[in-house]
Amino acid sequence: MKKFKDKLIDFLKNRAFVFVKENIIEYFLLILPFFLMDVFIRIKALKIDYDRKGVLQASILFSVVFVTFMVCISKYLKGWIGKAVYILFYGISLFMFLTNMIYYTLTGYFFKFSLMFMASEGSAYIGDTIKSTDKSIWIMAVLIIVTGVIAIAKFKRSEKYNVKGIILVAIVFAAGQIFIPNVLGKANANLKWDSFRKPANVYKEFNDANKNIKICGFFKYTERDFVKTFFKGKTKKDPDEINFLKDCYKNEKIHQNNPYTGMFKNKNIIFLQLEGIDTWLLTKEDMPNLYGLMENSLTFNEHYSYYNGGGSTFNSEFAINTGLITPISYNQNAYTFSSNTFKDTLPMLFKDEGYEVYAYHMNSKEYYNRGLNYKAWGYDDYFGLKDEVEYDEDDYVYEMDTELFDNETFRELFFNPPKPERKDGIKLNGRFVKYLISYTPHTPFVTNKGVGEYLAKKVYGDNIPDMDEEEVARMMATETDRMVGQLIDGLKEHNLYEDTVIVAYADHYLYTINDKSVLDKYKTTSDNRINNTPFFIWSNDIRDCLLRTGVENKKLQTVSQKVNSQLDIMPTILNMFGIKYDENKYIGNDIMDDNYSGYVFFDDYSWYDGSVYFDGSSGEKVGDNPNSNGNSMENTNGSITKSIKKNDLTLKYNWYKMEMSKK
């Protein structure tokens, strides 16, 4: 024992001390750029209210282990190989640092690799997003680059491989990945309403980017997200999850009639999904055509669009057509479910009634796999302007919403599409469903380039005034409104005006605007309720239709003030058209149903019912409802948690295909 003690003291005095003395400056310089990245990410993440027990400790430990691994492995490799590995670690880390900081500045969410599969439409706007990034981020980047260059210059290449050192560092790194998560505490094994707040559950499910970057730290978050996105194994069936789904779907629950059932029966219907048309854009001055429709419609002022951190446009399409939403408890974009089997979707149920069902948008079938997805949902066809008409890439006319009807080919496809071939034996009744998606109000909101410049010249000629982002956004909204005017004129021209219902709603609030002071001016909150967007149902005879329901105006006003989301649009419309449906197949509800009080939930498990806003991260509630005691709060949380689980597992296991394969 004495010999071992003497050897240890000798090692610490002579070898370890000398090593530290000779190498401390170099190691400090090698660690510094990684340290700065980690600290700057933490500063940016201070806005995220998720400082629960074990979170800070786990994130620090993960960062220490990762930085130690990167630096030591680089030093323990021989010659230029070690230096090259260090440069590689540094380069990747710097790129991911900038990506996360810029993306968070734009959206309020940290980056996820799954977003790369949805980057096509946004790629043209990356330059403008980078230019508008907060200057503080570029100051941070300069510091990291300067320290990185110094570190690389001071890097002393090793004369030989340190095999023992490599093995030791690898063991410590692997042990860290196994044991550090224990700092987060024990995860809830069963379904509990507060599981989404427990760090161990958040880490295990890895669905919330913001919470997980606080739990993991920058380096572990990047590595874990990469592995989860690109190396996800084949889904194994969990008996408990399968039994949960069986219980959810075992009993058919046909929606009961109410005064609004069938009020639009046998009419045509157009779903008008409005790109980025926030509440403050839909004014009489900026959008007179759409505003005029809204003034003579059933309007839902407490409507909320989902923003899941990416692909918000397609998320809306997915929700309204399938009655489901992008998974919340795991990472998978909605567009990737094109190979799933769906049942009783919006187009399928209307087709069963003899309707023709078509979708229209500027972009081609390849974007978001729309061609495959709309086919999977049951549409007769999806028409993309860029598929039907050839344009030069620098000819921004195709990004003008009015081009959808200015172009004779596309206008003809809208008002006189080819008759579908049906093999189901159901006769066409001459009615249609058309899903029309606008595009123009898209970032960047500038007039010196791109679609903004093209539109400004179209509006002002060569005398383009100085315009801030808000003014450009309003100009773009007016372009969308002109398209709405064309649509109305076309309906009248083809004798469809009297028999067509228009369901208009926005895909998301205008989070894409870089000048956030605009949102501060018009939005009353910065929490999830910022997702409040327009939604109304128009018909030329809407007043007569509502009178026939026999519902008093006072009650009708109460109904139209119910909180709702895209998930509720499909059930509401099905009932208004007199189409029977199984309530169990959808997450949303018929807004007009007296038994539905109205609420919306968000991707962090927060929810709002019109009186109370429950913050899913902090567990705190804002506002008061005389009926919201402790039990009712827990019941609502439990109900929402169950709905999310049902939604996510239905998609995960491709439930309808699984059930069909048993028959």
Torsion of CA 5, 8, 9, 14, to 10 degrees: 150
Look at residue 312 in the predicted model and tell me its pLDDT.
Answer: 74
The CA distance from 255 to 252, in Å, is 10
| Comparison of pLDDT for 487 and 553, the residue scoring more | 487
pLDDT above 90: percentage of residues in the chain = 69
Q: Are 39 and 196 in contact (CB under 8 A)?
A: no
What are 83-140's pLDDT values in tens digits?
999 999 999 999 999 999 998 887 788 998 877 765 555 555 566 666 677 889 999 9
DSSP per position, 40-101: HHHHHGGGS----TTHHHHHHHHHHHHHHHHHHHHHHSBHHHHHHHHHHHHHHHHHHHHHHH
Q: Are 289 and 482 in contact (CB under 8 A)?
A: yes
Enumerate the β-bridge partners of residue 297.
538
Q: How many CB atoms lie within 10 A of CB 266?
A: 14
Rounded average pLDDT over 13-29 = 70
Chain centroid to CA 148: how far?
Answer: 34
Q: Are 255 and 591 in contact (CB under 8 A)?
A: no
The CA distance from 632 to 597, in Å, is 13
Rounded average pLDDT over 169-181 = 96
From the list 337, 266, 362, 279, the residue with the least C-alpha distance to 578 is 266
Residue 123, burial from CB neighbour count under 10 angstroms (0-12, 13-18, 19+): exposed
Look at residue 412 in the predicted model and tell me its pLDDT.
Answer: 98
What are 283-307's pLDDT values in tens digits?
999 999 999 999 999 999 999 997 6
Q: Which domains does the chain have, with CATH numbers?
A: 23-230 (no CATH), 245-662 (3.40.720.10)
The CA distance from 113 to 68, in Å, is 24
Look at residue 642 in the predicted model and tell me its pLDDT.
Answer: 95
From the list 210, 211, 163, the residue with the least C-alpha distance to 184 is 211
Q: Beta strand pairing status for 564-565 and 303-304?
A: parallel
The CA distance from 599 to 583, in Å, is 16
Rounded average pLDDT over 585-613 = 94
Range of lowest pLDDT (50-59, 115-124, 386-395): 115-124
From the list 525, 487, 507, the residue with the least C-alpha distance to 622 is 525
From the list 316, 281, 488, 304, the residue with the least C-alpha distance to 405 is 488
pLDDT-derived band at 631 (thresholds 50, 70, 90) equals low
Mean of the per-residue pLDDT values of the chain: 90
Rounded average pLDDT over 538-543 = 96
